Amino acid sequence: MFTHWVLLDLGHVENLYWRKSPVVSKIAAIFPPVVRAMRIHAFHHLYQYRLERSTKPFLARGGKIKRCLYCLVELTHCLCAHQPDIESQVAVLLIVSENEVFKPSNTGRLIADTVKETYVYQWSRTEPNPEMLALLSNPAYYPVLIFPAETEEDKTRVLSPIPTEFAGKKPLLVLIDGSWREAKRIFRKSPYLASLPLVSVEPERLSQYIMRKSENEQHLATAEVASLVLDMFGDRHSASTLSLWFEAFKETYLTCKSRNKPSITKPALQRWIAHQQNANCL
């Protein structure tokens, strides 16, 4: 796993300070310098990898907005200084669809913001990443696929209830990050996922993720699913942190998207900042 902290000075490339610079310095050539304290994680590295190999710009709604290339919200509303800094009891593996990497509305990045041991790989039907396959077979981890049980014919795969012990292994939550159509395809076309035990999330509330339209209003954003699963696995601090971070991101993203710029006070962001301050006082 590649995790680095980076501190950038205001607009002066010669004053950049990189901790563990051999890896992060590659990002400097792509990401513009602004004031921030930001932990660079696996999703940033995948973003960089794709960006270096792109032959044309990714065009999406709001493409004219000048975004921070770390948190992907409008530069004037950058959230990087508020990134979570906690320790988690589990690890996460994100399998990301090709279309999802550049989407500013992506919420898988929020999981990597919260759970420091998050591994991120882009999905390939014919050439799965060998590092990802090695991680799934690593005896130090207990990999569990998070996916709706209704899609699986073999109900014996479904873990219910969730075990409290994993034979000394660390739970590795495997989440598919993409649209529902993409997620179903990845689920069906990935033989290495077929043998993993399955955990299904049956949310009691409708998704609060209103940044995109879904085929089914019960479908949750990836970060929402992860928050629920973290709670199911007993990591309640990570679950509540991710939930609040998701709300702050959603609020800021929608504020930047609106022409009228509503909710300037950003109550969700204020709740998140208060949560961080309370945690620091403990």
pLDDT of residue 237 exceeding 80, the answer is yes
85 confidence band (pLDDT: 50, 70, 90): very high
Give the distance, in angstroms, between the CA of residue 42 and the centroid of all CA atoms in the same chain.
9
Higher pLDDT, 162 or 8: 162
Q: Which two tokens stand for residue 269?
A: 């962001």
Mean pLDDT for the chain overall: 81
| Range in 1-15, 83-97, 186-200, 248-262 with the lowest mean pLDDT | 1-15
Q: What is the pLDDT of residues 18-58, one digit of tens each?
A: 233 333 444 444 444 444 468 999 999 999 999 888 877 66
- 53-71 burial, b if ≥16 CB within 10 A, otherwise e? eeeeeeeeeeeebebbbbb
Q: CB of 106 within 8 A of CB of 94?
A: no
Helix or strand or coil: residue 248?
Answer: helix
pLDDT digits (tens, 9 = 90+) for 1-23: 444 444 433 332 222 222 333 33
Q: Kindly give the interhelix angle for 267-281 and 236-257, rounded to the nearest 10 degrees.
A: 150
